[in-house]
């Protein structure tokens, strides 16, 4: 059974800091891995999708890496801004598009 863990559960940083969010999973037989952002009371916004054959993906200030053999992914956010404050969810994608989510990291970026 796939289990996805995200560390830390919560993080508070001053504006401008670079930060790393961690995601680990127990079953490495995944197709893809996807990072999402969720604002309070809202749905999921896709940030980055990493296919299983890829090692990383970049979009603007975001960079996500994937190491299937060790069951780990990281999301790197450069030069954090108050608008980055949200919950970040990691999801591994198995056969037939089934997603397994972690519980998220709640990020607060202080002005």
Partner 1 sequence: ETGVTQSPTHLIKTRGQQVTLRCSSQSGHNTVSWYQQALGQGPQFIFQYYREEENGRGNFPPRFSGLQFPNYSSELNVNALELDDSALYLCASSFMGRAEAFFGQGTRLTVV
Sequence-distant (6+) residues with CB within 8 A of 6 are 21, 22, 23, 24, 88, 89, 90, 102, 103, 104, 105
Contact map string, positions 4 to 23, toward partner 1, x by CB under 8 A: x-x-----------------
Residue range at the interface with partner 1 (CB under 8 A); choices 29-37, 58-66, 67-75, 77-85: 29-37
Instruction: Choose which of 31, 63, 68, 74 interacts with partner 1 (CB under 8 A).
Output: 31
Based on the shown chain and the rule CB under 8 A, indicate whether residue 76 belongs to the binding site for partner 1.
no
Closest C-alpha among 69, 57, 62 to residue 25: 69
Strand-pair partners of 51? 32
Q: Which stretch binds partner 1 (CB under 8 A): 12-20, 61-69, 72-80, 92-100?
A: 92-100
Helix (H) or strand (E) segment spanning residue 24:
strand 19-25
Among 21, 89, 107, 109, binds partner 1 (CB under 8 A): 89
Taking the complex as a whole, the smallest distance from the CB of residue 77 to partner 1 amounts, in Å, to 19
55 binds partner 1 (CB under 8 A): no
Specify the 3-state DSSP secondary structure of 48.
strand
């Amino acid at each position: 059974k796939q289990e996805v863990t995200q560390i830390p559960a919560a993080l508070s940083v001053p504006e401008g800091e670079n930060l790393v969010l961690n995601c680990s999973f127990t079953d490495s037989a995944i197709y893809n891995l996807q990072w999402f952002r969720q604002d309070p009371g809202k749905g999921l916004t896709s940030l980055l999708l990493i296919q299983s054959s890829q090692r990383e993906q970049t979009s603007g200030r975001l960079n996500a890496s994937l190491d299937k053999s060790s069951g780990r992914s990281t999301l790197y956010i450069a030069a954090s801004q108050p608008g980055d404050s949200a919950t970040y969810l990691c999801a591994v994608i198995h056969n037939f598009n089934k997603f397994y989510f972690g519980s998220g990291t709640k990020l607060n970026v202080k002005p």
